[in-house]
DNA sequence: GCCAACGTTGGC
DNA sequence: GCCAACGTTGGC
Protein backbone atom coordinates (compact mmCIF):
# COMPACT_ATOMS: atom_id res chain seq x y z
CA UNK A 1 0.00 0.00 0.00
CA UNK A 2 1.31 3.38 -1.05
CA UNK A 3 0.33 6.98 -0.43
CA UNK A 4 -0.07 9.84 -2.88
CA UNK A 5 -0.83 13.52 -3.15
CA UNK A 6 -3.06 14.50 -6.07
CA UNK A 7 -3.60 18.11 -7.12
CA UNK A 8 -6.93 19.30 -8.38
CA UNK A 9 -8.11 22.79 -9.18
CA UNK A 10 -11.21 23.27 -7.00
CA UNK A 11 -12.79 25.38 -9.76
CA UNK A 12 -12.65 22.24 -11.91
CA UNK A 13 -13.13 19.51 -9.33
CA UNK A 14 -13.10 20.14 -5.58
CA UNK A 15 -13.29 17.56 -2.80
CA UNK A 16 -16.94 18.62 -2.35
CA UNK A 17 -17.62 17.93 -6.02
CA UNK A 18 -16.23 14.42 -5.71
CA UNK A 19 -18.21 13.72 -2.52
CA UNK A 20 -21.41 14.58 -4.41
CA UNK A 21 -20.71 12.20 -7.27
CA UNK A 22 -22.23 8.71 -7.54
CA UNK A 23 -20.07 6.42 -5.42
CA UNK A 24 -17.98 9.49 -4.52
CA UNK A 25 -15.78 8.45 -7.43
CA UNK A 26 -14.18 10.52 -10.17
CA UNK A 27 -12.03 9.40 -13.11
CA UNK A 28 -8.80 11.42 -12.85
CA UNK A 29 -8.95 12.66 -16.43
CA UNK A 30 -6.83 15.30 -18.08
CA UNK A 31 -3.37 14.41 -16.83
CA UNK A 32 -0.98 15.07 -19.72
CA UNK A 33 2.35 14.57 -18.02
CA UNK A 34 4.23 11.33 -18.54
CA UNK A 35 5.58 11.00 -15.03
CA UNK A 36 2.13 11.43 -13.50
CA UNK A 37 0.65 9.06 -16.08
CA UNK A 38 3.25 6.44 -15.27
CA UNK A 39 2.35 6.60 -11.58
CA UNK A 40 -1.30 5.93 -12.45
CA UNK A 41 -0.52 3.28 -15.06
CA UNK A 42 2.28 1.40 -13.31
CA UNK A 43 2.39 2.08 -9.60
CA UNK A 44 -0.92 3.20 -8.07
CA UNK A 45 -3.17 0.40 -6.81
CA UNK A 46 -6.76 0.31 -5.56
CA UNK A 47 -6.79 1.13 -1.85
CA UNK A 48 -3.72 3.39 -1.96
CA UNK A 49 -4.20 6.48 0.19
CA UNK A 50 -4.61 9.89 -1.46
CA UNK A 51 -4.21 13.38 -0.06
CA UNK A 52 -6.66 15.49 -2.08
CA UNK A 53 -4.92 18.82 -2.70
CA UNK A 54 -6.53 22.02 -3.97
CA UNK A 55 -4.17 23.94 -6.27
CA UNK A 56 -4.29 27.12 -8.37
CA UNK A 57 -6.77 28.73 -6.01
CA UNK A 58 -7.03 31.28 -3.23
CA UNK A 59 -6.40 28.73 -0.48
CA UNK A 60 -4.09 25.99 -1.75
CA UNK A 61 -3.67 22.98 0.52
CA UNK A 62 -4.89 19.53 1.51
CA UNK A 63 -8.68 19.52 1.56
CA UNK A 64 -9.60 15.86 1.88
CA UNK A 65 -8.69 12.20 2.09
CA UNK A 66 -9.34 9.85 -0.81
CA UNK A 67 -8.24 6.51 -2.19
CA UNK A 68 -7.34 4.93 -5.48
CA UNK A 69 -10.51 3.19 -6.63
CA UNK A 70 -9.75 1.35 -9.86
CA UNK A 71 -7.19 -0.35 -12.01
CA UNK A 72 -5.69 1.84 -14.76
CA UNK A 73 -7.69 2.41 -17.95
CA UNK A 74 -7.72 4.79 -20.92
CA UNK A 75 -8.63 8.45 -20.39
CA UNK A 76 -11.62 8.95 -22.72
CA UNK A 77 -11.01 12.68 -23.10
CA UNK A 78 -7.96 12.01 -25.28
CA UNK A 79 -10.29 10.71 -28.02
CA UNK A 80 -12.80 13.57 -27.82
CA UNK A 81 -12.06 16.34 -30.35
CA UNK A 82 -14.27 18.70 -28.31
CA UNK A 83 -12.23 18.17 -25.15
CA UNK A 84 -9.37 20.45 -24.15
CA UNK A 85 -7.52 17.22 -23.38
CA UNK A 86 -7.93 15.83 -26.91
CA UNK A 87 -4.77 14.19 -28.26
CA UNK A 88 -4.95 13.66 -32.01
CA UNK A 89 -1.88 11.44 -31.95
CA UNK A 90 -3.34 8.90 -29.55
CA UNK A 91 -4.80 5.66 -30.98
CA UNK A 92 -7.64 3.71 -29.41
CA UNK A 93 -5.67 0.50 -29.87
CA UNK A 94 -2.74 1.99 -27.94
CA UNK A 95 -3.99 4.88 -25.79
CA UNK A 96 -1.33 7.31 -24.69
CA UNK A 97 -3.12 8.64 -21.59
CA UNK A 98 -4.11 6.34 -18.78
CA UNK A 99 -5.98 7.18 -15.59
CA UNK A 100 -7.35 5.65 -12.41
CA UNK A 101 -10.53 6.39 -10.49
CA UNK A 102 -10.30 8.28 -7.20
CA UNK A 103 -12.87 7.86 -4.41
CA UNK A 104 -13.27 10.66 -1.88
CA UNK A 105 -13.42 9.34 1.68
CA UNK A 106 -13.88 12.56 3.62
CA UNK A 107 -13.40 16.26 3.55
CA UNK A 108 -10.91 17.59 6.09
CA UNK A 109 -10.21 21.02 7.46
CA UNK A 110 -7.90 22.79 5.05
CA UNK A 111 -4.29 22.01 5.80
CA UNK A 112 -2.90 24.97 3.91
CA UNK A 113 0.30 25.09 1.91
CA UNK A 114 1.51 27.54 4.55
CA UNK A 115 0.73 24.96 7.29
CA UNK A 116 2.60 22.28 5.36
CA UNK A 117 5.62 24.49 4.81
CA UNK A 118 5.82 25.53 8.44
CA UNK A 119 5.86 21.93 9.72
CA UNK A 120 9.44 20.70 10.18
CA UNK A 121 8.29 17.08 9.94
CA UNK A 122 7.22 17.71 6.34
CA UNK A 123 10.32 19.53 5.14
CA UNK A 124 11.19 17.01 2.44
CA UNK A 125 7.69 16.38 1.11
CA UNK A 126 7.99 16.32 -2.68
CA UNK A 127 5.10 18.69 -3.20
CA UNK A 128 6.90 21.34 -1.15
CA UNK A 129 10.11 21.13 -3.14
CA UNK A 130 11.03 24.23 -5.04
CA UNK A 131 9.78 24.26 -8.60
CA UNK A 132 7.61 21.19 -8.15
CA UNK A 133 4.85 21.07 -10.75
CA UNK A 134 3.99 17.40 -10.77
CA UNK A 135 0.25 16.92 -10.21
CA UNK A 136 0.67 13.46 -8.64
CA UNK A 137 3.46 12.83 -6.14
CA UNK A 138 4.24 9.87 -3.90
CA UNK A 139 3.94 10.60 -0.17
CA UNK A 140 6.25 8.97 2.38
CA UNK A 141 4.48 6.72 4.89
CA UNK A 142 5.73 8.83 7.80
CA UNK A 143 4.46 12.02 6.13
CA UNK A 144 1.09 10.40 5.53
CA UNK A 145 0.70 9.38 9.17
CA UNK A 146 1.94 12.73 10.39
CA UNK A 147 -0.58 14.57 8.24
CA UNK A 148 -3.47 12.34 9.30
CA UNK A 149 -2.51 12.84 12.93
CA UNK A 150 -2.35 16.60 12.35
CA UNK A 151 -5.83 16.52 10.85
CA UNK A 152 -7.30 14.37 13.61
C1' DG B 1 -1.25 39.48 -14.01
C1' DC B 2 3.54 38.23 -12.93
C1' DC B 3 7.10 35.16 -13.22
C1' DA B 4 10.18 31.20 -11.71
C1' DA B 5 10.67 26.69 -12.77
C1' DC B 6 10.12 22.97 -15.43
C1' DG B 7 8.49 19.93 -19.51
C1' DT B 8 8.07 19.54 -24.46
C1' DT B 9 9.10 20.47 -29.16
C1' DG B 10 11.71 20.75 -33.14
C1' DG B 11 15.69 22.39 -35.92
C1' DC B 12 20.19 21.13 -36.52
C1' DG C 1 21.77 14.19 -28.80
C1' DC C 2 21.93 19.21 -27.98
C1' DC C 3 19.59 23.16 -26.72
C1' DA C 4 16.81 27.42 -27.68
C1' DA C 5 12.20 28.59 -27.93
C1' DC C 6 7.93 27.95 -26.35
C1' DG C 7 4.07 26.39 -23.36
C1' DT C 8 2.36 25.20 -18.78
C1' DT C 9 2.04 25.11 -13.81
C1' DG C 10 0.93 27.22 -9.77
C1' DG C 11 2.05 30.31 -5.89
C1' DC C 12 1.86 34.95 -5.04
- State the SS3 of A4-70: EEEEECHHHHCHHHHHCCHHHEEECCCCCCHHHHHHHHHHCCCCCEEEEEECCCCCCEEEEEEEECC
Question: Average pLDDT, stretch A98-125?
Answer: 96
Strand C reaches within 7 A of the A134 CB: yes
Categorize the per-residue pLDDT at A33 as very low, low, confident or very high, splitting at 50, 70 and 90.
Answer: very high
> Quick one: pLDDT at residue A61?
97
In eight-state DSSP terms, residue A74 is E
A123-148 pLDDT per residue, tens: 999 999 988 999 999 999 999 999 99
Dihedral of the alpha carbons of A119, A125, A129, A134, in degrees to the nearest 10: -130
> Quick one: pLDDT at residue A21?
96
pLDDT exceeds 90 at position A88: no
Q: Which positions on chain B have an atom < 7 Å from some protein CB?
A: 4-8
Q: Which positions on chain C have an atom < 7 Å from some protein CB?
A: 8-12
Q: Which of residues 5-64 of A touch strand C (CB under 7 A)?
A: 7, 32, 55-57, 60
Of the candidates A18, A51, A66, A53, the one whose C-alpha atom is nearest the C-alpha of residue A147 is A51
Amino acid sequence: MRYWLMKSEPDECSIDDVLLRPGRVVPWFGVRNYQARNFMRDVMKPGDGVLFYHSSCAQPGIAGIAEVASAPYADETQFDPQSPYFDAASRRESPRWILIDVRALRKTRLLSLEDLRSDPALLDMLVLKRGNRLSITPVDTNHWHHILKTLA
